[in-house]
Amino acid sequence: MKAIIIIGDGMADRQLKELNYLTPLEAAEPKNMNRIASLGTSGLLYAISPGIAPESDVATLAILGQDPYKVYTGRGGFEAIGAGIELRNEDIAFRCDFATVNEDFVIVDEKAGRIREDATELATQIQDLKLKSATDIEVIFKQTLGFKGVLVLRGENLSTNVSACKPKLNTRVNSIKPLDCSPEAKRTADILNEFIRVSHSILKDHPINRERRFRGQPPANVLIPWGGGRKPSLSPLHKKYGLRGACVAAVSLIKGICKLSGMDIISVSGATGEVDTDTTAKANAALKAIKDHDLVLIHVEGPDEASHDGDLAGKILIIKKIDTMIGTILENIDLEETCIALLADHATSLKLKKHTADPTPITITSPDIVRDGVTHYSERAAYKGGLGNIYGKHVMPILLNLMGKPVEFGV
């Protein structure tokens, strides 16, 4: 028995007045997701616990059976590993975003108009960046997808205990502060502030940004580091569960978590991490991977990105694309030999444009599971499901039991 975990990042939401009080999942009418619900048992998932609005990193850790409270060292480490950077123990890593700031370094567009192709060329200008205040520190920057990138600071006497927070509109970006009184935290804050200033001086008048301004697009005139972390250590799935796993994902964050979990990372051409991602290519990659793996995780970032943008049409579109992806998978696997877990790692509110602590729908199917009579995959339908309320840490034990490998307790 094999297993496929399908994660629609931020796919869950709240009912919306403009949808006649349906959620985007309900409005999308996903027939293949509904088919999975009809074949299995459903419930409500709290990735961490009730009242906690998790980020995708801690949610995915929990879903894979890792304890975020023990292994989480910050987002940056996972981003760097997923981007192919070999972290050293003394390194500190940050997610790093291209953004648009005004002359006072106040953010006017935290994603620089969701810059894409132009970001690749701009990233080359940062490769050899040097810092005058810390000549002993090596600066490593790598662009990953569109406006997203990774910054690694390599050297001694550094700290992640600084106020490098996720970029938000109308906030000043070159005012990172130490969060303790240590010289390491003060030094790191000074380094990051200099990095921001130097990146701005390099990027603000670059020909690409002059052209973007001419076209009425926001210039990507600064890089903002946030979510600092050190090199994480996770238990590989083959040691923890005796499973060989594979991951089909676009974003470096998820790739990093899965790589550290001992899973093979499957690269997919056309996987953008946005609404326009090639979900058909992801389906085909997963179908190929399941042939010689016990577990395949498929992660689709698009719903979360649409939610953060307040893009209702985009969210419904990507849900429908995920549904088509699932249809391709269902047509080409043997449901008598495969368990499927369909879930959202967290809810992301279109109205609020941020993650919420709402539970998310989860459906699990296998040939041996007792069907609970739920026939739709949605937030509302999940309340009636036989799984009840479960936490992220329960997902892998449930799947292992259905795969004939239950976690045993006692003699």
Q: What is the mean pLDDT of residues 93-105?
A: 96
If you count DSSP H runs as helices and E runs as strands, how many of each does the chain have, helices first? Answer: 15, 15
Q: Which amino acid is at 298?
A: I
**Residue 411 confidence (pLDDT):** 61
Give which of 163, 200, 194, 158 is closest to 178, Cα–Cα: 163
Residue linked to tokens 């009184």:
181
DSSP category for residue 16 = B
What local confidence, expressed as pLDDT, does residue 410 receive? 79
How close are the terminal C-alpha atoms of the chain, in Å?
Answer: 25
Which residues, at least 6 apart from 332, have a Cβ–Cβ distance to it below 8 Å? 287
Fold (CATH) for 2-71+235-402: Alkaline Phosphatase, subunit A (3.40.720)
Quickly count: other Cβ atoms within 10 Å of residue 312's Cβ: 18
pLDDT digits (tens, 9 = 90+) for 206-218: 999 999 999 999 9
Is the pLDDT at 11 greater than 80? The verdict is yes
Q: Provide the pairing of β-strand 360-365 with 338-343.
A: antiparallel
Q: Which amino acid is at 16?
A: L
Which pLDDT value is given to residue 299?
98
Q: Which residue, among 190, 97, 99, 177, has the nearest Cα to 144 in the 3D structure? A: 97
Q: Which residues lie below 8 Å from residue 339, measured CB to CB, with a gap of 6+?
A: 1, 2, 3, 4, 364, 365, 366, 399, 402, 403
d(CA 113, CA 26): 29
- Average pLDDT (284-297) is 98
Kindly report, residue by residue over 29-52, the tens digit of the pLDDT. 999 999 999 999 999 999 999 999
Mean pLDDT across the stretch 341-365? 98
The region that residue 106 occupies, defined by phi over 0 for left and psi between -120 and 50 for alpha, beta otherwise, is beta
Q: Three-class SS of residue 245?
A: strand
Structure tokens at 35: 């088919």
pLDDT band (50, 70, 90) for residue 174: confident
Q: How far is Cα 10 from Cα 30, in angstroms, rounded to an integer?
A: 16
What number is the average pLDDT over the span 368-393?
97
Hey, what amino acid is at 157?
N
Q: Determine the pLDDT at residue 352.
A: 97
Q: How confident is the model at residue 127 (pLDDT cuts 50, 70, 90)?
A: confident
**Arithmetic mean of pLDDT, 81-97:** 96
Looking at per-residue pLDDT, the higher value among 189 and 174 belongs to: 189
* CB-CB contact of 276 with 114 (8 Å): no
Helix axes 56-63, 252-260, angle to 10 degrees: 30
How far is it, in rounded angstroms, from Cα 337 to Cα 350? 37
Mean pLDDT of 124-143: 91
Residues of the chain with CATH 3.40.720.10: 2-71+235-402
Q: What is the mean pLDDT of residues 121-140?
A: 90
* Mean pLDDT across the chain: 96
pTM score, two decimals?
Answer: 0.95
